[in-house]
Amino acid sequence: MSRPGFVLEVDRSTPPILFHHGEGFRLEKLPAGSRVIYPAEPVAPLKDPDAAIRHALLNPVGDSQPLPSLLRSGMKLTIAMDNQAVPLPPMQQPDNRQRVIEIVLDMAAAAGVDDVELIIAHGLHRRQTEPELRHMLGDRIYDSFAPHGMLTQHDAEDHDNLVLVGRTEQGEHVELNKRAVTSDLLIYVNVNLVAMDGGHKSTMTGISSYRSLKHHHNVTGMQHSRSFMDPPNSELHNSTWRMGRLLAGAVKIFQIETTVNTDTFPSQFGFLQKREWEWSARDRASYLATSKSLDRVPPRIARSIFHGIKSPQKMTSVQAGEVEAVHKLTLENVHKQHLVPVQGQTDVLTMGLPYVGPYNVNSILNPLLVMCLGLGYFFNLYRGKPLVRKGGVVILSHPTRWEFHPVHHPSYIDFFEQVLTETTDPLEIEKKFEEDFATDPWYIHLYRNSYAYHGVHAFYMWYWGAHALQHVGQVIIVGGEPRAVRRMGFKPASTLRDALEMAEDVVGRNPSITHIHNPPIFLADVT
Amino acid sequence: MRVTARFPLGKPNWPSSVPRPPVERRTGVDYETDWARTHAARLARAVIVDDVLRPVLHLIASPTVHGEDRLVGLEAPAIFVANHHSHLDTSVLLTSLPDRFRHKAVVAAAADYFFTTRAKGAMSALAIGAIPMERTKVGRRSADLAAELLEDGWNLIMFPEGGRSPDGWGRAFRGGAAYLALRCGRPVVPLYLEGTGRLWRRGKTWPKVAGKGEGVHLVFGSPMWPEDGEDARRLAARVEQAVGALADEWSTDWWSARRRAAAGTTPALTGPSGGAWRRAWALDATASSRSGRRSWP
């Protein structure tokens, strides 16, 4: 039985608390009276995931027939799936997607379906490399489909292969991958890491175009998503739900969603998922050995060590059938693992940012991604009210080096150099610069033919933090490279103590402090 | 002319009216292998397998493993069942199975081949953890021993074709592995071995070293549990089909193999019927596009 998450009240006897710090860690002594929110321990995984998948496919929820009765010889079947942005870190093989798709294909083979295409629904993300695809899908699926061109990566700029399904009453364009929309059956396979993922958002971001995405990936939408981790109160989800319902009226969709537990790090990094006072001698030794050796190796080497981590996350549930009915169950299962009740907001919110976010698998967590991970994802991991009060301070801990992956994030470099030097206001950025970047032929070329994120993706990173930027009074980055931190309009600090002192200038003396001990991930239920 | 010393210098005659006591056989299926499963013997075997067999095997056969992810979540003990072409097969399995299985594994070996003398039996039991298995007649002793070991947590490696392939094609699977799976309620893991026969086929004294692209391949299948009401014959047939489907998967791709399996058109391991030359000719057609070599001429 896993223990639930809880809020620790720090007193003088509390040991130093672990902060993630990019490709490293810090132990920080928090002032007495601070709170630390600990995630729940990993919930028990499914004993026999394959049997659970079969059961879900044969007993779908909502208005859907069992999968075998939807399959027939001569039909056109498309299986779309989440890309490697989830789960994080990438999970040890076999990935949930491999397990599910192999069983789906077994059923398709039994029904005599020949025309099958697999689509990686990565929206405006970069294409995945062959080793990344093999890791995610396994060699069997890759070798069966990729050589025949039947395993494709969605191309949001291939206008010949996009089709406008229609427009919602609010005028939102629903423009999606042609193969998916013209199939007799579209099966979507999801891995739900956080409450934001899944549901209609899967198709509406994964296999759509810029024209479609900009209806929900925009500053106003983000500022009205309180938070985007809580779908009923998220404008992002309202929009994707409207658009998704339009699609569901045009195409038969069979949604398969899976959840994973928070068994995030392998045993050699076991101390990262333990409460500090429960660290054994082995944990302490591995912490010391790891952090000391990481301090001594160049960041490039440390990064490659960390990106080699494959998480032992396991499937905790699988549900299939009609999109909304499926997603309701998925959210319940995600909440079982993630929800931690927290009472009251805080003046100062501290967080240690790890080496990886959804957009830098096998890549660099550049300053824009630091902002997105801290002010976008971690800030929004709440339900009810934000953890930090209006006008409060957020303190991030991350090296925030002025460093970008030139292949994966080319438009980020220009965004950092050209856009942020003029303004950091998301609304102004959106108005003045977005269109140029989104339609720049060079970025489009790199997105389609290299391994680059789309030109507009850097903007989305900034928009992801728009709600936080509007809400907080100041952002401080501990240990960050000063010029990179200042470029984003934040303040650098060398130590947490300095940062807390600087925060007092904004929120007053003796502020309340809350630290989120994340990852492993949780969702604060703030009342 | 043979000169024999007369009793008492020589051997006495056995009176014909007195029945001879039964000779206690200590070879063949009666060879006792308990000693080879003591901790000391297991340690010695681990050294032999990991420090002798493995390097030699990598030198001559460069084995590659596929589909190991299918065993994720499977708990020991299990019965591993493979097609059989060569003496290399056992070594490939013993060095390629996941650690949680291979460190506590016994190999069902032909009692009439590996246990004909005590020295051969001792060598086989020590080096590969062999247990004698009757293959020429039906006997309870070897089945009881195998079942006892399975119940005791030992994994069992079996080649249900009953011997190495004489011509490169497989032979019909016997029911022993399926019987044990049903009796002990443990799963059968189908395995397909490719290429071992090319390097050391039946009848050759020494193996040859694999050239470029000639390494051997081991494909793991998904564990198969006996179904409700299934008898050994049906389970054995299912296992044989599963190994056939793995062979198909290896020579084409997984999706094509699944479609053929669903349609019941998976090529049989036993190959086509007909004259020997036609079987040899057809063997070439099954060579995987991945290995890029022809086995004929």
Q: Give the type of residue at A214.
A: K
Contact between B259 and A112 using a beta-carbon 8 Å cutoff: yes
Report residue A481 as tokens: 């490279």
Mind listing the domains of chain A with CATH numbers?
6-42+338-526 (3.90.226.30), 49-260 (3.40.50.11440)
Largest Cα–Cα separation, chain A: 72
Q: Quick check: B187 contacting A, CB < 8 Å?
A: no
Percent of chain B predicted with pLDDT > 70: 90
Contact between A105 and B67 using a beta-carbon 8 Å cutoff: no
The alpha-carbon gap from B244 to the nearest alpha carbon of chain A, in Å, equals 16
Q: Quick check: A314 contacting B, CB < 8 Å?
A: no
> Does the pLDDT of residue A237 top 90, yes or no?
yes
Contact between A105 and B258 using a beta-carbon 8 Å cutoff: yes
Contact between B72 and A94 using a beta-carbon 8 Å cutoff: yes
Beta strands in B7-163 (DSSP E): 64-66, 79-82, 105-110, 130-133, 155-158
Tell me the chain A residues in contact with residue B72 when contact means C-beta distances shorter than 8 Å: 93-94
Interface probe with A: pick from B259, B260, B290, most Cβ of A within 10 Å: B259
Tell me, what's the pLDDT at A379?
97
Least reliable range by pLDDT among A11-20, A87-96, A126-135: A11-20
For residue A411, the tally of other CB atoms under 10 A from its CB is 25
> Does the pLDDT of residue B280 top 80, yes or no?
no
pLDDT in tens, B23-36: 777 888 888 899 99
Nearest residue of A to residue B264 by CA position? A110
Nearest residue of B to residue A135 by CA position? B69
Tell me, what's the pLDDT at B205?
86
Tell me, what's the pLDDT at A440?
97
> Does the pLDDT of residue A358 top 80, yes or no?
yes
Contact between A114 and B256 using a beta-carbon 8 Å cutoff: no
Report residue B160 as tokens: 């249900």
Helices (H) and strands (E) in chain A, counts: 20, 20
Nearest residue of A to residue B249 by CA position? A140
> Does the pLDDT of residue A161 top 70, yes or no?
yes
Instruction: Indicate the domain borders of chain B.
Output: 28-266
Please state, in angstroms and rounded to a whole number, the distance separating the CA atoms of residues A108 and A116.
9
Tell me, what's the pLDDT at B17?
73
Contact between A144 and B263 using a beta-carbon 8 Å cutoff: no
Q: Looking at residues A341-349, what average pLDDT do you find?
A: 97
Tell me the chain A residues in contact with residue B64 when contact means C-beta distances shorter than 8 Å: none
pLDDT in tens, A27-40: 999 999 999 999 99
Secondary structure letter of residue A207 according to DSSP: T
Query: What residues form DSSP beta bridges with A76?
Result: A115
Contact between A112 and B263 using a beta-carbon 8 Å cutoff: yes
Taking alpha carbons only, the member of A162, A151, A8 closest to residue A80 is: A151
Tell me the chain B residues in contact with residue A68 when contact means C-beta distances shorter than 8 Å: none
Tell me the chain A residues in contact with residue B258 when contact means C-beta distances shorter than 8 Å: 105-106, 109
On the 0-12 / 13-18 / 19+ scale of CB atoms within 10 A, B107 is: buried
Percent of chain A predicted with pLDDT > 90: 96
Q: Quick check: B66 contacting A, CB < 8 Å?
A: yes
The alpha-carbon gap from A9 to the nearest alpha carbon of chain B, in Å, equals 39
pLDDT in tens, A496-523: 999 999 999 999 999 999 999 999 999 9
Residue position matching structure tokens 């395993």: A151
CATH of domain B28-266: 3.40.1130.10
B29-52 burial string, b = 16+ CB within 10 Å, else e? bebebeebbeeebeeebeeebeee
CA A75 to chain centre: 34
Helix (H) or strand (E) holding A243: helix A235-250
Q: Give the type of residue at A502.
A: M
Least reliable range by pLDDT among A180-184, A250-254, A290-294, A468-472: A290-294
Q: Quick check: B75 contacting A, CB < 8 Å?
A: no
Tell me, what's the pLDDT at B1?
56
A205-231 burial string, b = 16+ CB within 10 Å, else e? bbbbbbbbbbbbbbbebbbebbbbbbb
Report residue B198 as tokens: 């090319």
Contact between A147 and B253 using a beta-carbon 8 Å cutoff: yes
Contact between B259 and A143 using a beta-carbon 8 Å cutoff: no
Report residue B34 as tokens: 């308990």
The alpha-carbon gap from A186 to the nearest alpha carbon of chain B, in Å, equals 18
> Does the pLDDT of residue A152 top 50, yes or no?
yes
ipTM, two decimals, is 0.74
Q: Quick check: A106 contacting B, CB < 8 Å?
A: yes
On the 0-12 / 13-18 / 19+ scale of CB atoms within 10 A, B13 is: exposed
Give the pLDDT band (50/70/90) at residue B167.
Answer: confident
Residue position matching structure tokens 């007799």: A184
Contact between B154 and B127 (Cβ < 8 Å): no
Nearest residue of B to residue A106 by CA position? B258
> Does the pLDDT of residue A253 top 70, yes or no?
yes
